[in-house]
Structure 1
Amino acid sequence: MPETKEVRWNHLTAAELNELAARGAVVLVSIGSTEQHGPHLPTGVDDFMAAEVCRRAAMLIDDGPPVIVAPSIPFGLAEHHMLFGGTLTLSLTTLHALLRDLCRSIDRAGFSGILIVNGHGGTMTALHALTTELTAELNIPVGFTNYFAAGRTVIREILETQDGLMHACEGETSMIMAALPELVRTQELDNAVGPAITLPAESTDPVYFAVPFRAITESGVAGNGNKGTAEKGERLLDGCAQALADALAARRHW
């Protein structure tokens, strides 16, 4: 993908951002998590991948108002990973306050809309509710998506051992191999295995209980991280970015 334009908020000057706001630009706010990702992946996986998908999606937008990518939020709701160590988590009230302040700043800067793009399963149900409150509070439209939900179809087509992203799995391992290969502990790949899980949004259980992730998997992995490849990762990143760009193009009235 040719790098012909700059889409990252913190790589632009204030004057450049003001000009983009005047052109009706929409801002992507990516949010991930800093949490354990098994023995082979860094703790920043969810943050890195949400931000990378947003950057690639913004680069794909050629017609209509531009898309800008705000600095990523590297923290989410990760209480269920705390027993493993290496995890930073926010409370729900802190998450709401942080998102409110950032989105208010984007609104005051004159931009035409905000799309929150999530990369962490543990935060997504809370973000649905917070998006509703932010919509009522701000003067501009606010949307929400999980990048792995926007790209669900392409993810299912590419992965060989699972139907969707799990945790430190075939998919996440592949994407890190493609984007940040130096961060993969390849010597630990044989240990990067764990049981399959169902994402909260796809669960059919009639009752929800908060369960520590360590009760699900001793390795910290859900899925098959040892099946990851950089080739799959590049296709996953591009496919999710294209799905996100298509969703943005369908809402150009922002």
Structure 2
Amino acid sequence: MTEVLWNRMTAEELRQKAVDDAIVLLPVASTEQHGPHLATGVDTFLGGEGCQRTAKIVARNRPIVVAPVVWMGLAEHHVAFGGTFSLSLSTYHCLLKELCGSILQAGFKKILIVNSHGGNVAALNTLTTDLARELGAPIATTTLYSLPHASGAYAESLEDQKTVRHACEAETSMMLASFADCVRGDRMVEAFGPMGTHEVSLAPPLNLWRSFKELTPSGVLGDARKASAAKGERLLDVAAELLAAKLVAGEPWG
């Protein structure tokens, strides 16, 4: 099996990957509350898992490396629950600029920032332009669960929702599939909240900042009681396959 994880390779091996024009996936996530039943590392764990699964598919066709996961992001909306780290936008900008700069200095040319946290979406949409301009490199961004047709593919595996929300049927299923020891089974009976909508929670048409506690007292958007490991395996595979197909085809740089 071809190694894809940056921090499991030697510097010499990484230099060769750069010579071979490998893609670098930089997973960006968050450490934050995920209801009464999930550990705070959900986005970090799932973002890393999604990128690793993607890279293993892509590696059959072209070189690819997965950088270590950035475990903190923009999560002020979760702070009221406790257990949450959050950065300011200016700090986040500087952090991503320095990390991408290090990857470029290591000789790589193609960087895709792969996000797994809803609170990072708006910032990354803006920073895509700034990072490319400041670093003089074609740095791209995406969110792991938002590729075209993903919603339909996820909906086939989910009972009460069409896509990924927060500490929900989808996230809990993926955690059961890959990080079951971070799921508190004895608290699953409490793991539900308003269904809400993906659009309203991330990018409302009339925008006012709100704490997540105003949206859901439990910290959950959706109903995690419907989760299963089998659903989680399918969801993780769908996310990886959709992203891998784009990268193998040469997108977004082609």
In the superposition, the TM-score normalised over structure 1's length comes to 0.94
Hey, what's the Cα distance between the residues in 1 that align with 2:36 and 2:206? 31
Hey, what's the Cα distance between the residues in 2 that align with 1:240 and 1:190? 28
**Are the counterparts in 2 of residues 121 and 199 from structure 1 also a CA contact under 8 Å?**
no
Hey, what's the Cα distance between the residues in 1 that align with 2:187 and 2:246? 37
Relative to structure 1, the CA distance from residue 89 to residue 203 in structure 2 (aligned partners, 3 Å threshold; closer, same or farther) is: closer
Hey, what's the Cα distance between the residues in 2 that align with 1:168 and 1:202? 13
Relative to structure 1, the CA distance from residue 143 to residue 202 in structure 2 (aligned partners, 3 Å threshold; closer, same or farther) is: farther
Hey, what's the Cα distance between the residues in 2 that align with 1:94 and 1:169? 29
Alignment of 1:33-52 (within 5 A): 33-52=30-49
Match status 1:82 vs 2:79: yes
Amino acid at match of 2:122: T
Amino acid at match of 1:42: A
**Are the counterparts in 1 of residues 193 and 221 from structure 2 also a CA contact under 8 Å?**
yes
Q: Paired residue for 2:130?
A: 133
Map Cα deviations across residues 139-194 of structure 1 (whole Å, 9 max, x no partner).
43111110010233321221111011111000000000000111110001110000
Amino acid at match of 2:143: N
Hey, what's the Cα distance between the residues in 2 that align with 1:204 and 1:124? 9
Hey, what's the Cα distance between the residues in 1 that align with 2:182 and 2:202? 31
Q: Paired residue for 2:183?
A: 184
Hey, what's the Cα distance between the residues in 2 that align with 1:204 and 1:85? 23
Q: List structure 1 segments (4+ residues) > 3 angstroms apart after TM superposition.
A: 62-65, 200-206
Hey, what's the Cα distance between the residues in 2 that align with 1:204 and 1:184? 28
In the superposition, the TM-score normalised over structure 2's length comes to 0.94
Report the secondary structure of 1:158's partner residue.
coil
Report the secondary structure of 2:121's partner residue.
helix
Relative to structure 1, the CA distance from residue 224 to residue 53 in structure 2 (aligned partners, 3 Å threshold; closer, same or farther) is: same
Q: Paired residue for 2:62?
A: 65
Amino acid at match of 1:225: A
Hey, what's the Cα distance between the residues in 2 that align with 1:204 and 1:129? 14
Match status 1:99 vs 2:96: yes
Percent identity at matched positions?
46
**Are the counterparts in 1 of residues 36 and 218 from structure 2 also a CA contact under 8 Å?**
yes
Amino acid at match of 2:183: V
Alignment of 1:1-254 (within 5 A): 4-62=1-59, 64-150=61-147, 151-200=150-199, 205-251=204-250
Report the secondary structure of 2:156's partner residue.
helix
Unaligned 5+ runs, structure 1: none
Matched residues, number: 251
Q: In terms of mean alpha carbon deviation, does 161-170 or 197-206 score higher?
A: 197-206
Unaligned 5+ runs, structure 2: none
Report the secondary structure of 2:145's partner residue.
helix
Q: In terms of mean alpha carbon deviation, does 8-17 or 157-166 score higher?
A: 157-166
Hey, what's the Cα distance between the residues in 2 that align with 1:233 and 1:44? 16
Aligned CA-pair RMSD: 1.6
**Offset at residue 67 of structure 1 (A):** 1.2
